[in-house]
Each structure stands twice: as C-alpha cells, then as structure tokens.
Chains A and B, each alone.
Chain A
Amino acid sequence: MSPNFRIAFRFLTAKKRAMLMSLSCTVLGVGLFIVTQATTSGFEEFFVKTLLGTDGAMRIEDRIQDTLRSMEVAGSPDFQIRQREGVKYIEGVEEPQMIMDTVRSFANVRGVSAVLRGNVQVTSPFKTEDAQVFGIKLEDHRFVSELERKITTPEGLGKFQESAATALVGRVLADRLQLAVNESIVINVRGESRRFVVAAIYETGVRDIDKTRIYIDLADARSLLRKPTGATFIQISLHDPNRARQEAAHLEEVLRHSVRPWQEREKEWLSVFRALSVSSAITVTVFTLIASLAMFNTLAMIVLEKTKDIAILRSMGYERRDITRIFLWQAAIVLAIGAIVGGIFGAVVSWGVSLVPLPINTLFKTEHFIVALSPWHFVQAITTAVVMVMIASLVPARRAARLEPGDIVRGTAQ
C-alpha cells in the first residue's frame, strides 16, 4: 500500500459523514445513469426488434429506370458520354423470382419473401372494414418475419398452410369485425368478392398492422388481385440487421431496384428514440454532475481541515504531487466504492423497473416497462462518473498541493 493511499484512506474515514454524502451521490449518479440508459434503450431495442419482426430488415420495392442523356465529347464525334439525368421508379417488382434468387446468394441474407399487396374491403356478418391483403408464401415469409410466433391460435397455422382460401387476420381488425377463428369473411376487390376462412388471428402489437393486414396465400392473392406475375415488394431479413444500410446500397446497385433498409423506413420513430436517449443522457449527466460537486465539496472541506497535516507532510519531505495524489486517492476510493455499489444499485433498480406494469399496444406490444441492461451502460455510467468526479477533485487537490508550508504554520495560508 502506498503511503499516499494510506493517508488518503485515513483522511476519508475521519470524515465519515462528508464521505458518505459524496459516496451516496456517486452511487445515485452511477445507478440512475444505468437505469435511465437501460430503460431508454430497452424501449428502442424492443421497437427495433418489433419492426424487424414485422416488416423485415429491408424491402426491395420499385425498379429503377435511369433516364439517360447522351452527349458528345467536344472535338470527338465518335465518343459519347451517357449521363444520368434523373431516376424514374417503376412501381413494384416485375420479376420477383429472379431477384429473390440473386438476393439469396448474399451472405448476410437470412430470408427472402415476395409479397403482393392490395387494398380490399372485408366483410364479416357483423360489418365491413377497409383492409389490405398481403399475399405471402408462408414457407418464405417465416424467415423474414415473426408472424408465425405472433399467432394467438397456433393450431390454425397448419390450416392456413394447407387449405386455400384461408386468411390470417390481425387482432384489432378481427375485434372490429367480431371475428373468431374458423368463421368466414368476404374479401371484396373492385366489385369482385371472394370468401375466405379465418385460419388464425395474429397480434404483432403494432396497431397499424393489427388493424389492417390480412395475410393470405400468394396464389390466392394473385387470383384475387388479378396479378399473375410480379410482387409489390420483396421483404428481406438479415443475419446482422445493423448492416442493413450497407447491404441495401449494395443490393440497389446490383439489382437496379430501390432497396429500403429499416433505418430509413422507420426514420421518424428512430429519431424520436434517439432524441429521447440524448435527453436522458443529459439528465443522467446532471446526476453525475451533482456527484462531482459533492466530491468537490467534501475534498475542499478536508483540505481546509487538514492544512496543518499538509504542512507536517511537506516538512517531512512529501512533495506537492504527493499531496495532490493523497486527495485524488480519496476521490478514487469513493469512486471505486461508488461504482461498485452504484452498479449493483442500477442493476437492482432496473430489474425493479422492469416489473412495473405498463401496457402498450401501439408501436409495439408490452405489458411492462422494457429494460435492456447491457455492460456498455455500466461502462458509460462509470466512465462518466470517473471523468467528472476526477475533474472536480483536481481543483481542491491542486489547491492543497499549492499551499506553502510556511504560510500554513503561520496561519496565513488561503
């Protein structure tokens, strides 16, 4: 044990109350930092998980047609430059099978599914509602969404797969139409009606999906919507969804179709979450600021009380930097205890918060507060506390080091 550490420890234990005060501020700072970050990112992560589980990591939508303009290079009539003038999009994917085969060859791609979408009216014995049919091949679509797992009556899934003219209906839409499994609905497109049986009801928790989408088999959709070929879009899931932007740009280049990654698709909501996490980061930094002020206060007080000890130490050959270290050690001891206790405190409170009931059913579905504790939050919390408290401690520590022993013993130190 270094002499400076020993002295620091003794100074601290001699000022138990002040030290407990700044210790509890540090514990609160670190703990609340962790809790706030864990809840903010908990909701964000869950939102991302939900949107990846519903609409996939990317969608290939419209075909890009470059409109080109030819231009002669001055002085050489045989040499022409073709320049892109603008981009025209042709709605939909005309040759889904070919594109799907290409996409499947990408390493990061986990699943590919062609979807044919159309606006419809759906009628139950009770009433009629506007809706959208999503024509899918379940064996493809199960790799690009969590639809299978969102089905409230799992036994209906087999029926959907085996029998034609069956549908998966969203919870909200089913409630509005007062539908139950195995009851039939009539789907109406441009004056033509077709009868379907509700094979199962699903609930993604995303209200916009649950109140509009009816999933039917792609073949049924083709005949219903009179689209024997083509797809509205192709949904893709990735092994590493965080690389969606890069993959999308790459695919766009290769396929000459617009490819939208989830980050772009859900830009608005994602920026809301980003703003939320910045504002909570500011809040928690204020907690840490309070911890560092408390530490400043404690140390400044100890310096004042220990000037004579500083003079004695200096008279024995302790250097200015020893004095600085003695006071920084005190901060370090408080920080070390504060980081450990604060970390435990943060973890326990986060767990407690995750038990708080909070039913949400719009952006995603949850019954409780969502908490995502990650080691990264602990690192962030502790780093912030260490940096701020250490900076705050430097001031009194250096002040103590600057004191002249002669001034102290004469009582003229300030």
Chain B
Amino acid sequence: MSNVRPASSAAPLGDFALRCSGLQRYLGQGDGRVHVLKGVSFEARRGQVYAIVGPSGCGKSTLLYLLGLLDQPDGGDIEINGQRMSNSDDFARTAARGAHIGFVFQFHFLMLEFTALENVMMPMRKLGRLTAPEMEARARMLLESVGLGAKTHRLGTQLSGGEQQRVAVARALANQPSIILADEPTGNLDVKNSTLVFELLTRLAKDNGQAVILVTHNPEIAQRCDVTRPMRDGLFV
C-alpha cells in the first residue's frame, strides 16, 4: 500500500524517522523575550511511541511546532527521514509536512465549515495520491477507527470538542505519514475514547512503522508509551 515498513521488522538502530539536536527557540519581543527551548535534542525511531511530558509552560508545544516544521528554530538541527530541514525553504518544508508529517494541534482541530469526512480528505486532496473514491473510502475507514463512523457528514460545528479532536487524529493519519505529532490528543476525551485514540496510534506505530510523538499530561498514557521524555523549563531532564 505504501512505502512504510511493517513494524515487526523492528527498526534497526539508526533508522530514525526524526532527529533533532540542540534546538533553541526564543519567543516574544524586547523585554518579553523568553528563552523557551534551551538546546533540546531528541530522536524518534520508526514504530515507536514517544511521550513528552512536563509541567505547563515548559515548552512542549513549542518543541512540537518545530518538529512539525510549522515554526523555525533559532538554533539547532532537525532531520526528517534523514533529510536536514532546519535551513530548507518554505516550499520544501511544506512538501515535507504534506508527505511525512501528521499533526494534531493542542487547541484547534477542524475547519469548521467542512464535514468530518471533508476534513479528513483535505490532506489527501492536496497530496493527490489517491482517486476521489479511494480518498473517501480511506477517510471513512479512519473515522470508523476513531469511533465516528456514524458522524462522517457532521459539520465541524456540529461536533463536540472531543469528537473534533478525534477527527483531527483521523486527519493526521490521512496521508499515512511516517511521523505523527500530537499535542495532547486525548486532552478532551473520556477514559474510553482516550484509550481508543491511544490504542489506534500505538497500533499504527507497530503495524505501519510510524513514529508517534505525543504530548500528554495523562500519566497512564505516558506510562504505556515506549519512551517517555520528561521536560522541564525548555530542556529534557
């Protein structure tokens, strides 16, 4: 079906989907300028699930935006599937986002004027690898797997926060990205649904060899990940 390897072939050492080193990021202007990331290094192998944990305000989201190529670091390197992205242009970073990265935002999830199904199809339409019926079938399958098979034609505005979040997870998986970055993907969910979403992500990592990196405040979930990286004040501890 695609270029991703089965997880059973336990990723050999050095087979990193994502690598970053010495990431620096300052935010704000003038007196309000804050040194948010103070040299973060991190690597993620295919087929593994990573949890980034830490107190509020320690820089988890900031790091995830950098890893998702949505923001540019003030220092340090980022490598996606072996390609250095830190000083590539907007065009290359955009292409990499479309082909290799699935991102779930912490707060806003959907384009509200579109139905759940259209939201999930949106990245596929841009990538254009599948035919329209294939896209729709895949989008339905993904929504089914996050427990929303019955609500595919609801507009974003007609879904609850948790439902929107699950659609966003389904959308992040749309193009079968090799890296999934999710900023508290279970933040708005009840126990049953957070388990559902977490297990979906874990299964994908294992079955398709995708690297999953999630930020979470939920210790139970963090515990069930392959690797947990605690963060404090802009640094991994």
Instruction: List residues of chain A with CB under 8 Å of any chain B CB.
Output: 3, 6-7, 10-11, 13-14, 308-309, 311-320, 322, 404-407, 409-410, 412
Closest 4 CB pairs of A and B: A317-B98, A406-B71, A3-B125, A316-B123
**Is A409 within 8 A of B65, CB to CB?**
yes
> Which of B75-83, B89-97, B186-194 binds A?
B89-97
CB-contact partner of B122 in A14, A316, A410, A412, under 8 A:
A316
**Is B127 within 8 A of A317, CB to CB?**
yes
CB-contact partner of B97 in A316, A407, A412, under 8 A:
A316
Q: How far is the CA of A406 from the CA of B98 in the complex (A)?
A: 16
15 cross-chain CB contacts under 8 A? A11-B113, A14-B113, A309-B111, A311-B108, A312-B110, A314-B94, A315-B101, A317-B97, A317-B98, A317-B99, A317-B126, A317-B175, A404-B71, A405-B71, A409-B65
**Is A318 within 8 A of B94, CB to CB?**
yes
B152 within 8 A of A: no
**Is B105 within 8 A of A312, CB to CB?**
yes
**Is B99 within 8 A of A308, CB to CB?**
no
Q: How far is the CA of A360 from the CA of B97 in the complex (A)?
A: 71
Measured between beta carbons, the chain A residues less than 8 angstroms from B95 are 317, 319
Q: How far is the CA of A261 from the CA of B98 in the complex (A)?
A: 69
**Is A319 within 8 A of B123, CB to CB?**
no
Closest to B95 in A: A317
- Most chain B CB neighbours (cut-off 10 Å) among A14, A404, A406: A406
Known: A3-B126, A409-B65. A314 touches B114 (CB 8 A): no
Measured between beta carbons, the chain A residues less than 8 angstroms from B70 are 311, 314-315, 404-406, 409
| Interface secondary structure of A, over-half rule | helix
B50 within 8 A of A: no
CB-contact partner of A3 in B71, B94, B108, B122, under 8 A:
B122
CB-contact partner of A319 in B68, B91, B110, under 8 A:
B91
Measured between beta carbons, the chain A residues less than 8 angstroms from B127 are 317
Q: How far is the CA of A14 from the CA of B112 in the complex (A)?
A: 10
Interface size class of B (residues with CB under 8 A): 20 to 34
Q: When each residue 59-86 of chain B gets 1 if its CB lies under 8 Å from chain A and 0 otherwise, what string results?
A: 0010001001011100000000000000
Measured between beta carbons, the chain B residues less than 8 angstroms from A407 are 71
Q: When each residue 93-135 of chain B gets 1 if its CB lies under 8 Å from chain A and 0 otherwise, what string results?
A: 0110111010101011011011000000011011100000000
9 other A-B residue contacts (CB within 8 Å) besides A315-B97, A317-B175, A318-B94: A13-B113, A14-B113, A317-B94, A317-B127, A318-B98, A319-B90, A404-B70, A407-B71, A409-B70
Measured between beta carbons, the chain B residues less than 8 angstroms from A320 are 90, 94
B7 to chain A, nearest CB (A): 24
Q: How far is the CA of A312 from the CA of B127 in the complex (A)?
A: 15
Closest to A312 in B: B111
Q: How far is the CA of A47 from the CA of B110 in the complex (A)?
A: 63
Measured between beta carbons, the chain B residues less than 8 angstroms from A317 are 94-95, 97-99, 123, 126-127, 175
Q: How far is the CA of A322 from the CA of B122 in the complex (A)?
A: 13
Q: How far is the CA of A308 from the CA of B107 in the complex (A)?
A: 10
Q: How far is the CA of A327 from the CA of B207 in the complex (A)?
A: 40
B27 within 8 A of A: yes
Closest to A14 in B: B113
Measured between beta carbons, the chain B residues less than 8 angstroms from A308 are 108
Q: How far is the CA of A308 from the CA of B98 in the complex (A)?
A: 17
Known: A3-B122, A406-B71. A315 touches B105 (CB 8 A): yes
**Is A322 within 8 A of B126, CB to CB?**
yes
Measured between beta carbons, the chain B residues less than 8 angstroms from A10 are 113-114
B76 to chain A, nearest CB (A): 15
B121 to chain A, nearest CB (A): 9
Closest to A11 in B: B113
Measured between beta carbons, the chain B residues less than 8 angstroms from A6 are 125
Measured between beta carbons, the chain B residues less than 8 angstroms from A311 are 70, 105, 108
Q: How far is the CA of A55 from the CA of B122 in the complex (A)?
A: 70
Q: How far is the CA of A335 from the CA of B171 in the complex (A)?
A: 33
B22 to chain A, nearest CB (A): 19
Q: How far is the CA of A404 from the CA of B68 in the complex (A)?
A: 13
Known: A3-B122, A319-B91. A314 touches B71 (CB 8 A): no
A372 to chain B, nearest CB (A): 45
**Is A316 within 8 A of B126, CB to CB?**
yes
Measured between beta carbons, the chain A residues less than 8 angstroms from B114 are 10
Q: How far is the CA of A125 from the CA of B198 in the complex (A)?
A: 114
A307 to chain B, nearest CB (A): 10
**Is A314 within 8 A of B97, CB to CB?**
yes
Q: How far is the CA of A314 from the CA of B91 in the complex (A)?
A: 11
Within B166-198, the residues touching A (CB, 8 Å) are 171, 175
- Most chain B CB neighbours (cut-off 10 Å) among A314, A320, A409: A409
A17 to chain B, nearest CB (A): 15
Measured between beta carbons, the chain A residues less than 8 angstroms from B27 are 410, 412
Q: How far is the CA of A412 from the CA of B27 in the complex (A)?
A: 10
Measured between beta carbons, the chain A residues less than 8 angstroms from B101 are 315
Closest to B91 in A: A319
Measured between beta carbons, the chain A residues less than 8 angstroms from B71 are 404-407
B101 to chain A, nearest CB (A): 8
